Each structure stands twice: as C-alpha cells, then as structure tokens.
A and B are shown apart, each in its own frame.
Chain A
Amino acid sequence: MPQLFKRRANAIANATIMGGGLIFLGACGVVFALGRSDYWTRKEEAPAQPVPFSHEHHVAGLGIDCRYCHTSVEKSSFAGMPPTETCMTCHSQVWKGAPVLQPVRDSLQYGRPLRWTRVYDLPDYVYFDHSIHVDKGIGCASCHGRVDQMPMTWETQPLYMRWCLDCHRQPEMHLRPLDEVFNLAYASPQNQFLVGRTLEEQNHVHHEGLTDCYTCHR
C-alpha cells in the first residue's frame, strides 16, 4: 500500500500538537498580560487636557498645597475640582495674557466650565471617599504618586480591586502620620510595619469590615 502521508507528516503532526498547545497557552498569557497592562488601565498615560496644567509647576514650583484647589478632600467623598474662579485668583495677576490660559479666561468670561479629562476614573459602582482616607492617614501620594513631579497628570496605579484590597487588608503598611498626609515627598520608614501598628492606634483605623463588599459597593 502507498504511504498516505509523507515522512515529514510525523514531524508536522507533533509540531501541530505542540504548537497548538503553546499557542493556546500563549493566547491565555496575552489576555492575562493585556488585562494587567498599562495600556489597558491607562496607567502612566497623561491624557490631553484643555489647559496643559502642570502639578509639577504649581505644587513643586510654587508650593501650593493640595487643598488650595481640591478644597473638599477632607470634608467629602469628592476631593473637589477647582472652579475657574480659583485659577483666576492668581491668573488675573500672573500670566494675564498667556495664550495657554485662554480657555480659563473664556470659561470665567462666558461662564462656560472647563472640561477636564478624568485621570483617575473608578467604575460607577465603586463608592470611594477621599475624606476618610485622608482622615485616617493615607497620603495623597499613596494613590496619586508624586504629582509634584508631573508636568501633565497621569495615573500611577492600576486601580484594580486587588490593588484596593492590598491596602484594605493591611492598612498598616500604608499609613503615615496625619501631618504627612499632604506631603508628597514622604517616604515610609524601614520599619513601616511597626510604625504602621502605632499609627493604627493613633488614627483609629479598624481592620474590622475593611474588606466588606459594602465598604465600597452599594
């Protein structure tokens, strides 16, 4: 009987099986990686803004405190975005005619609000509250990174639920003295674990219920 297949068919057969397996695993790997990639989470991606606002300049350069613009960060779930007025308190004096600030001036003049692009965008079913985090000694930088080094603002964290849980499971690893909360340059000490324990006492942080669903979802 004539051979139905060529000699190399065996090699091909094995190759297809091996290859198929590898391709499948590869595909899984790609999906897995893509889901965690910065592309996907828009991490470290600085979206275009109506005004090229530089935290670096305002915070590091001019030493303006976070709360000067984000007024409600200690009072409310929402940190607050500065109304145009706030910008103009200074910019009616400095950079009066700067073309980059035209949108700001227009905004005030025509009462048209500025439309910034969100950098940190949590899903709508997540109820994050800035005030409580600040109050318990979680620094701005813990989530927002060194904004004082950002010419344009970008996301420094993936904002995955797992990432939230990391901190909610062991807050002691992320707590800092209350007076350091707004210090972007604060570096956690070597013995953060021990320090964290004492800070837990001081800041009245309760582990109980930190990982309850209803803590963030309603």
Chain B
Amino acid sequence: MKPDLYGFMAEFEQPEELLNAARAAHEAGYRKMDAYSPFPVEGAAEAIGFERTRVPLVVLIGGITGAGVAYGMQYYSAVWDYPLNIGGRPLHSWPSFIPITFELTVLFAAVAAVFGMLLMNGLPKPYHPVFNAPAFKLASQTRFFLCLQATDPQFGERTKYFLAGLNPIAVHEVES
C-alpha cells in the first residue's frame, strides 16, 4: 500500500447511492471519511457522523457584541465624552440610539455568520488532496463522491473492495 495515499474515493451517479454508501461505511466502522456533492444532500453530513454545527452560536455572539458596541459607543460619546445640548433633547436620548444599535447588531451577526462558516470549513483551501482524484471536478457538477481517508485505523487495501462493493461508477485512489 502506497504511503502517500490520502484515501479511496467512490464515485456515484445519484445522491441516494452516496447516502447509502456513507451509511454503510459508517456501520462498517469507518469514521475518517467525507462525502462530496454538487449540491447539499439531505442527511449526508449525519451519515458520515457529523451531527451539529456551531455556526448559530457564533452568530448569536456576533449579534450581542454588535448591540453592545453600538449602544455603548453612542452612550459614551453623547452622554459621557462630549455632552451637547441638541435642541433641548436629553443627553441620553435612547429612542434615537435604537436604529444604529439594530443595524450594528445585524451587521456583526452577519459578518460572524459568514466568516465563522468559512473559518470552521477551513476555507479558503485552494489545494486539497481530493482534487487529485480524477473526475473529481464533476463533484461540483453532476457526480457524488465518498472518500474514506487513509488516516482511519480501519483503512486498508480492503477498503477499496469495500467501496467497490457499494456499486459505484468507479473507485479512485486519491494520493495526498
């Protein structure tokens, strides 16, 4: 078995096949694996044992920060740093502070969502071993791939046959 092997990759026609394959692999005890598809396949993540994402939490934190920053900034500058009598209105005109607080809440939350997602996905990652797989460019168009990685303790020559047993179109060797 070549040392510089990233894993074996099975190529499928339909998302259902991918799902079944993934489930089978998981039952077979494989853990280090990933599924690739041109569009989100319902249940694929769960099938490969990826249950929950922490994106919502990040967004929540972002939102709260935004609100805090916005209101704090306004309160500090208008009441504390340079109090001005503006048309006889009170220094702490809280109703006027709401719009900006809202806007910054949304802004911070949104930024957190996007960058949180990219960060957790480890993107950008222009180079990745899976791209070595022939025909993988179809992963962004029509085909579905299941990749069992070499780092998995169960991994071995037989893994290839195991995948082949899931009647894919083809099984590719992916060198790292």
Contacts and interface: CB of A to CB of B under 8 A. Distances in A.
Interface of A: 1, 3-10, 13-14, 17, 165, 211
B62 to A, nearest CB: 17
B146 to A, nearest CB: 17
A211 B83 CA distance: 9
A135 B134 CA distance: 88
B52 interface: no
Interface of B is mostly: loop
B134 A6 contact: no
Contacts of A10: 124-127
A91 B158 CA distance: 107
A78 to B, nearest CB: 29
Closest 6 CB pairs of A and B: A5-B126, A9-B126, A13-B124, A5-B127, A9-B127, A1-B137
B134 A1 contact: yes
B155 interface: no
B127 A1 contact: no
Contact of A3 (B82, B127, B135): B127
Contacts of B131: 1, 3-4
B127 A7 contact: yes
B109 to A, nearest CB: 20
A4 B126 contact: yes
Nearest to B124: A13
Contact of B132 (A3, A6, A13): A3
Contacts of A7: 127
Contacts, number: 30
23 contacts: A1-B131, A1-B132, A1-B134, A1-B135, A1-B136, A3-B127, A3-B132, A4-B126, A4-B131, A5-B126, A5-B127, A6-B127, A7-B127, A8-B127, A9-B126, A10-B125, A10-B127, A13-B124, A13-B125, A13-B126, A14-B124, A165-B82, A211-B82
A127 B135 CA distance: 76
Interface in B112-132: 124-127, 131-132
A211 B132 CA distance: 69
A8 B126 CA distance: 9
B55 to A, nearest CB: 19
Contacts of A6: 127
B116 to A, nearest CB: 15
B64 to A, nearest CB: 23
Contacts of B136: 1
A174 B82 CA distance: 20
B150 interface: no
Centre residue among A1, A17, A211 by max chain B CB count within 10 A: A1
A165 B82 CA distance: 10
Interface string B60-92: 000000000000000000000010000000000
B133 interface: yes
Q: Which of B82, B124, B137 has the most CB of A within 10 A?
A: B124
Nearest to A169: B82
